[in-house]
């Protein structure tokens, strides 16, 4: 049943672009660049000589074996941590506080606050900025309709299905109005069917709400479908072993795309690189 | 089957056995005592009814000590837990001391509290608050620290201040833990109040129990104990009810 995952594209829909972001982001999506990044936890070198370039509105997929520092890299970009060495630039600013003000982070588990209704979870960023509850709900509510969640505004997270929760979590990230979205394995906890649905859903959401996105996943297919480019990371210490262009980023018919021979070929190359990098 | 049925049956059986053993004089014979020293449950019930106003007067004194002491412990415990949560330095400095303070037997310092604060409600409050402070503080702190670090990161990227993270994420997460601590405190608070009264007082259930004991009014002594136990149970029940009302998402 795909109808509840349908995304209705509308023009000039990005309310978040006009929302009060402390960064004062005029346009959603800013370029992100990473230069010569090194990072270690104590003695453990997690990231080594890493360079990344991401244009505004670009979607970059990061795949790699477990423990290769993917999640750390996201936290570094978001300004949740400072790197050991190297430079990270998000929309022209390099310090952690500016990066933090330009990035919204979607963690692996949805981490919806169980005591807040779905709409209040989605509106968290607005509430944190001092917007009144009513206004915040009204703004977040617009997106609920648009993203197939109408009618579930006042449901508690425990009453929602896994896919629904993940959608609310994504809306929460989107409502923050940040130019950069950092998604950490957003669908890892879902079953295969729901995950495929959510990938289509996210593709539609990103097409209608373009942002600069860094997507961490261990699912090569997911990365290649959702991203413009995919960087394959090696085992720890993480560095990029291969960069691939996706054949049909976020094309409407996901099932057709992922079974296309061209897509399959790129996917196999990515898998090969992944295997090589793990050794 | 209702979850109350079994415990009530067991309790009824115990009371019934006690009734038979006491009223037949079996316990008194076995212990070599005068039968009036071993009251049966029915005698205790009689004493409860006959002395109801005396018991109620004294119960009110004790209840006030318990409630005020609990409130002090809650205020201090919650405040302290939040402080220790917010400051790593404070936590390192104070947490071991809080734990160590629990090894000081209240029994040993109660007399000195009476010397310092006199026979009024002061020392009883102090004792109740002292024994209740620990479970509340430790549980609350555990609750505050049980927040998923990912949730904190997520909130930071959603422009939350430290205060907002505390209010919107950490405090609600800690709430069930606070209730657990408060429930433990509610059950031990009457013990503290009783002890405070034993060391020095002129009213309260503890005072009454000591008096009755000295005057061999054993039935009324048991009646006073029953009242005190009922207070503890009622407090626990009220807190459990409040928890169910407040922590709806569980």
Distance from CA of B157 to the nearest CA of A (A): 5
Residue A61 lies in a domain: yes
Q: What is the mean pLDDT of residues A25-54?
A: 82
Predicted confidence (pLDDT) per residue in A194-236, tens digit: 889 889 988 988 888 889 999 999 899 999 999 999 999 888 7
Identify the pLDDT of residue A23.
Answer: 36
A108–chain B Cβ distance below 8 A for any pair? yes
Report ipTM (2 d.p.): 0.80
**Domain-by-domain residue ranges, chain B?**
1-38, 40-246
HEC profile of A170-231: HHHHHHCCCCEEEEECCCCCCCHHHHHHHHHHHHHHHHHCCCEEEEEECCHHHHHHHCCEEE
Q: Is the pLDDT of residue A9 over 50?
A: no
Q: What is the mean pLDDT of residues A145-152?
A: 86
Residue A147 lies in a domain: no
| Residue B1 pLDDT level (bands cut at 50, 70, 90) | low
Q: Is the pLDDT of residue A5 over 60?
A: no
State the alpha helices, DSSP H only, in chain B. 5-23, 26-31, 41-50, 52-86, 88-101, 106-117, 121-145, 149-157, 162-165, 171-199, 205-214, 218-246
Residue A82 lies in a domain: yes
| Residue A69 pLDDT level (bands cut at 50, 70, 90) | confident
Q: Count Cβ atoms below 10 Å from residue B82 Cβ, excluding itself.
A: 18
Residues 6+ apart with CB under 8 A from B122: B113
Cβ contact, residue pair B153, A129, below 8 Å? no
Cβ contact, residue pair A107, B150, below 8 Å? yes
What global pTM score does this model have? 0.83
CATH level 3 topology of B40-246: MetI-like fold (1.10.3720)
Residues in chain B closer than 8 A to A113 (CB atoms):
151, 168-169, 172
Identify the pLDDT of residue B184.
Answer: 95
> Could you tell me the residue range of the domain that residue A245 belongs to?
29-111+180-278
Point out the residue among B157, B159, B249 whose CB comes nearest to the CB of A156. Answer: B249
Torsion (CA) B29, B34, B38, B42 in degrees, nearest 10: 100
Q: Domains in chain A: how many in total?
A: 1
Torsion (CA) B237, B241, B243, B248 in degrees, nearest 10: 160
Torsional class of A74: left (φ above 0), alpha (ψ -120 to 50), beta (otherwise):
alpha
Predicted confidence (pLDDT) per residue in A175-201, tens digit: 998 999 999 998 888 888 888 988 998
Angle between helices B171-199 and B218-246 (to 10 degrees): 170
Residue A247 lies in a domain: yes
In CATH, what number is assigned to the domain containing residue A99? 3.40.50.300
């Amino acid at each position: 049943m795909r109808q509840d995952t349908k995304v209705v594209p509308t023009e000039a829909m990005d309310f978040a672009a006009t929302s009060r972001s402390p960064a004062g982001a005029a346009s959603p999506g800013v370029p992100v660049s990473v230069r010569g990044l090194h990072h270690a936890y104590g003695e453990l070198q997690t990231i080594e000589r890493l360079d990344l370039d991401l244009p505004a509105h670009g979607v970059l997929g990061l795949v790699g074996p477990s423990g290769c520092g993917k999640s750390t890299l996201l936290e570094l970009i978001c300004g949740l941590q400072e790197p050991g060495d190297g430079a990270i630039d998000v929309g022209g600013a390099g310090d952690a506080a500016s990066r933090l003000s330009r990035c919204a982070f979607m963690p692996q588990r949805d981490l919806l606050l169980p005591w807040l209704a779905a709409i209040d979870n989605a509106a968290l960023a607005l509430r944190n900025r001092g917007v009144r509850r009513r206004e915040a709900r009204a703004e977040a509510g617009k997106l609920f309709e648009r993203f197939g969640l109408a009618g579930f505004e006042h449901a508690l997270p425990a009453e929602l299905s896994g896919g629904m929760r993940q959608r609310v979590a994504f809306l929460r990230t989107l409502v923050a109005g940040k130019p950069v979205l950092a998604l950490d394995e957003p669908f890892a906890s879902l079953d295969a069917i729901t995950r495929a649905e959510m990938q289509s859903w996210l593709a539609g959401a990103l097409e209608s709400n373009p942002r600069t996105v860094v997507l961490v996943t261990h699912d090569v297919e997911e990365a290649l479908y959702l991203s413009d480019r995919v960087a394959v990371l090696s085992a720890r210490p993480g560095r990029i072993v291969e960069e691939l262009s996706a054949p049909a980023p976020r094309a409407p018919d996901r099932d057709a795309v992922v079974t296309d021979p061209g897509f399959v070929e790129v996917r196999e190359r990515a898998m090969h690189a992944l295997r090589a990098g793990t050794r | 089957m209702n979850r109350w049925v079994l415990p009530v049956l067991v309790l009824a059986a115990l009371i019934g056995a006690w009734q038979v053993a006491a009223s037949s004089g079996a316990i008194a014979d076995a212990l070599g005592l005068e039968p009036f020293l071993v009251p049966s449950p029915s005698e205790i019930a009689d004493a409860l009814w006959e002395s109801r106003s005396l018991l109620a007067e004294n119960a009110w004194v004790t209840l006030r000590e318990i409630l005020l002491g609990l409130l002090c412990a809650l205020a201090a415990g919650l405040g302290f837990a939040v402080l220790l949560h917010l400051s790593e330095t404070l936590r390192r400095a104070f947490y071991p001391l809080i734990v160590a303070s629990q090894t000081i037997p209240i029994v040993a310092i109660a007399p000195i509290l009476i010397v310092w604060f006199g026979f009024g409600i002061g020392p009883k409050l102090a004792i109740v608050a002292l024994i209740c402070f620990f479970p509340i503080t430790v549980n609350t702190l555990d609750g505050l620290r049980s927040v998923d670090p990912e949730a904190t990161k997520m909130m930071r990227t959603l422009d939350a201040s430290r205060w907002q993270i505390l209010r919107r994420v950490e405090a609600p997460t800690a709430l069930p833990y606070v209730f657990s601590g408060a429930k433990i405190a509610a059950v031990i608070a009457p013990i503290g109040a009783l002890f405070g009264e034993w060391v020095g007082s002129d009213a309260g259930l503890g005072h009454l129990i000591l008096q009755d004991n000295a005057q061999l009014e054993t039935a009324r002594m048991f009646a006073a104990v029953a009242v005190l136990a009922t207070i503890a149970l009622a407090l626990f029940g009220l807190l459990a009810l409040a928890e169910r009302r407040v922590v709806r998402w569980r």
